[in-house]
Structure 1
């Protein structure tokens, strides 16, 4: 009986254990599943992604051969082409070190410039071409100038440029022309101007021709004048709209370049149309004038390009043209003119092969632009009258020319007894003409 009770007790115990395992089995399976998932996740975290060989990037467009099969020519892209962003295969990195936002691998693929820039560039190019527009007369520039020099037997060659209308050539400019022939009766004067190479221009210049003076107005052929110089490359870029002309007048900057190229091609004397010549330049050769000097060192502090006297293909002219082409800035007044010649001369001074002379301010710029108005004023009293008399004689004795600085003095009339009034009397050819607008 005792043994029966013991067996019954063991059976109940086994039954309880079996029931417990059955009840706990789902929970165990869930726990086992969680362990498996954790193991898989841990494996994926510490897994290193092996790279797959990426497809080779295409060869840049600017390295393509000039000629492709089928005789199709591919133009090489200029270095100024803009670039777009293209995403390639990401680099190999540990996933445990992934940043919040992965940076793509960037490659530079040449594409066209943004469409948003095209209208602006198109307007810019139209404005440039409008400024550069010349008639068919320009094609004859070379032959006209060459024939003019050969047939005129001139003792000196003068050049001027005029970028405004023929009607706007006023008394000051005509006085500048008079002053050239007053001191150089056998000179040849070439006025490079689109507007003056016209019927109206012929009317304006006829009084000089009637007097037998040798002058000609010629429409500029920029391509010919700039050919085989650094200006040629710059000018071609300008015509294509690849040069920003800036805020300063494009005509003014073209005049700065044109005077350099004309002297480089032909040699001679360039003067601005607000330069009044006082005496012969015949004893001057390869000369540029200082506008100002350092009072302590007595060395020049700034040069000017309103008067240039140089031999044909002079190396300094070459450097001037090169500097213009490489450093052009259309937003800074004077950068491509007076400041340009100052920069270059400062660099080449003392170097062998550059033979030229820098004349003091008294040669061409006896009065600074800030005081030029004093030359237009008549005597206020006896002391002022004496000062004007002495200053006038000083200028006549020391100066080859005087710069009127039209930008500063353009609105000032010539008063009776002023220094300019006396100078006009000294150099005028048409002395009975009215100069009231000066």
Structure 2
């Protein structure tokens, strides 16, 4: 009897794996539960900043305020404790690469946590602030949504219905920030390897089925405003707190499906999308998340590096790869990229990047 139960359990596990590997929608609902439990507490979003905390983003002096369409934005929506906020070397690498490769654009890291800088992050923060075009600020979300299309919707408490409120806050912020200021949004695991200056109204396909939300740019002209407003409408209409990717890539994919009158990313040409450009996977996602280990594979280094030749940036899937160590001086692809495009962080992060 025990053997039969064990055999049945093994078969069920195998069947489960096969199902989620084939059904992306089902996987979006279930797979996040297979990893570490994500804290749901988001009370820090409305707490007053630490006395040594960050300056509020929209309370900056007039000369420091974002120039419409000339910005690159990163968001960090975690809540941090008394030790202060954390920015690890790989996240800092993404920020440095954006500033280094786009010196005429202002790069913002926007935190929601009221904490001060943690002792463990002071060194990498110091390296980032050596770039004149990097600014680190704090967002008070209730102020940030005020006088926007999301004000009443957010005030309804919609985020509290989410199983992953911090991740879904990241989704909300990327669309809201681009609506407010225009410019480019990047995930904190995107390393920029070519200039993004001059890019307007674009996104990248992760594969040829769907558009991804890890790299996006909306201009402040008619097309950019049209897409930004459509994204906010879709976010309000279709927000689902129980589906991991519905409120991020789902929003831009559904919006462009309507704009371009086509279902698949492969058919979203500039001509069909009124000038909005959907880049091929090679532009920002040369390595699919299922193959993330290629970034750490020394033997396949040459093959992997060749994949980056047509890339403007590379998504390195830190959520999957963060526990894979890289010794500074290593010749794995990720290390080679970091040494070239975020040298200050890479050379001052200690023995492990």
What TM-score, normalized by structure 2, do the two folds share? 0.73
Aligned positions of 1:211-230 closer than 5 A: 211-230=130-149
- Whether the 8 Å contact between 1:269 and 1:309 is mirrored in structure 2 is yes
Structure 1: distance between partners of 2:131 and 2:247: 36
- Whether the 8 Å contact between 1:413 and 1:436 is mirrored in structure 2 is no
Structure 1: distance between partners of 2:112 and 2:302: 41
Structure 2: distance between partners of 1:325 and 1:128: 22
Q: Which one has the largest radius of gyration?
A: 1
Corresponding residue to 1:391 among 300, 304, 308: 304
**Structure 1 residues 196 and 359 mapped into 2: Cα distance closer, same or farther (>3 Å)?**
farther
**Structure 1 SS opposite 2:307:** helix
Structure 1: distance between partners of 2:68 and 2:96: 16
Aligned positions of 1:245-260 closer than 5 A: 245-248=161-164, 250-260=165-175
Aligned to 1:261: 176
**Structure 2 SS opposite 1:254:** helix
Report the alpha carbon displacement of residue 216 of structure 1 after superposing the two structures with TM: 2.1
Aligned positions of 1:331-370 closer than 5 A: 331-350=242-261, 354-370=274-290
**Structure 1 residues 323 and 226 mapped into 2: Cα distance closer, same or farther (>3 Å)?**
same
**Structure 1 SS opposite 2:203:** strand
Structure 2: distance between partners of 1:141 and 1:283: 24
Aligned to 1:281: 196
Report the alpha carbon displacement of residue 342 of structure 1 after superposing the two structures with TM: 1.2
Report the alpha carbon displacement of residue 330 of structure 1 after superposing the two structures with TM: 0.8
Establish whether residue 418 from structure 1 lines up as the match of residue 332 from structure 2.
yes
**Structure 2 SS opposite 1:269:** strand
- Whether the 8 Å contact between 2:285 and 2:315 is mirrored in structure 1 is yes
**Structure 1 residues 274 and 140 mapped into 2: Cα distance closer, same or farther (>3 Å)?**
closer
Report the alpha carbon displacement of residue 394 of structure 1 after superposing the two structures with TM: 3.3
**Structure 1 SS opposite 2:250:** helix
Instruction: Tell me the alpha carbon deviations over residues 362-406 of structure 1, each in whole angstroms, 9 at most, x when there is no partner.
Output: 111000000011111212xxxx4xxx21430330x2000010111
Instruction: Tell me the alpha carbon deviations over residues 78-128 of structure 1, each in whole angstroms, 9 at most, x when there is no partner.
Output: xxxxxxxxxxxxxxxxxxxxxxxxxxxxxxxxxxxxxxxxxxxxxxxxx77
Report the alpha carbon displacement of residue 337 of structure 1 after superposing the two structures with TM: 0.8
The structure whose RCO (Cα within 8 Å, separation 6+) is larger is 2
Stretch moving more, 399-408 or 193-202: 193-202
Report the alpha carbon displacement of residue 322 of structure 1 after superposing the two structures with TM: 1.1
Structure 1: distance between partners of 2:63 and 2:116: 19
Corresponding residue to 1:185 among 98, 103, 112: 103
Aligned positions of 1:97-136 closer than 5 A: 130-135=43-48
Corresponding residue to 1:174 among 92, 97, 109: 92
Corresponding residue to 1:234 among 129, 135, 153: 153
**Structure 2 SS opposite 1:402:** strand
**Structure 1 residues 141 and 390 mapped into 2: Cα distance closer, same or farther (>3 Å)?**
closer
Establish whether residue 291 from structure 1 lines up as the match of residue 206 from structure 2.
yes
Aligned positions of 1:7-156 closer than 5 A: 130-135=43-48, 140-144=56-60, 146-149=62-65, 156=70
Report the alpha carbon displacement of residue 178 of structure 1 after superposing the two structures with TM: 1.6
**Structure 1 residues 432 and 129 mapped into 2: Cα distance closer, same or farther (>3 Å)?**
closer
- Name stretches of at least 5 consecutive residues in structure 1 with no aligned partner: 1-126, 294-300
Corresponding residue to 2:297 among 377, 381, 385: 377
Structure 1: distance between partners of 2:343 and 2:60: 27
Report the alpha carbon displacement of residue 340 of structure 1 after superposing the two structures with TM: 2.1
Report the alpha carbon displacement of residue 196 of structure 1 after superposing the two structures with TM: 7.3
**Structure 1 residues 197 and 146 mapped into 2: Cα distance closer, same or farther (>3 Å)?**
farther
**How many residues were matched structurally?**
290
Report the alpha carbon displacement of residue 273 of structure 1 after superposing the two structures with TM: 0.6
Structure 2: distance between partners of 1:196 and 1:357: 37
Corresponding residue to 1:403 among 315, 319, 322: 315
What TM-score, normalized by structure 1, do the two folds share? 0.60
**Structure 2 SS opposite 1:191:** strand
Aligned to 2:228: 317
- Whether the 8 Å contact between 1:182 and 1:429 is mirrored in structure 2 is no
- Whether the 8 Å contact between 1:155 and 1:187 is mirrored in structure 2 is no
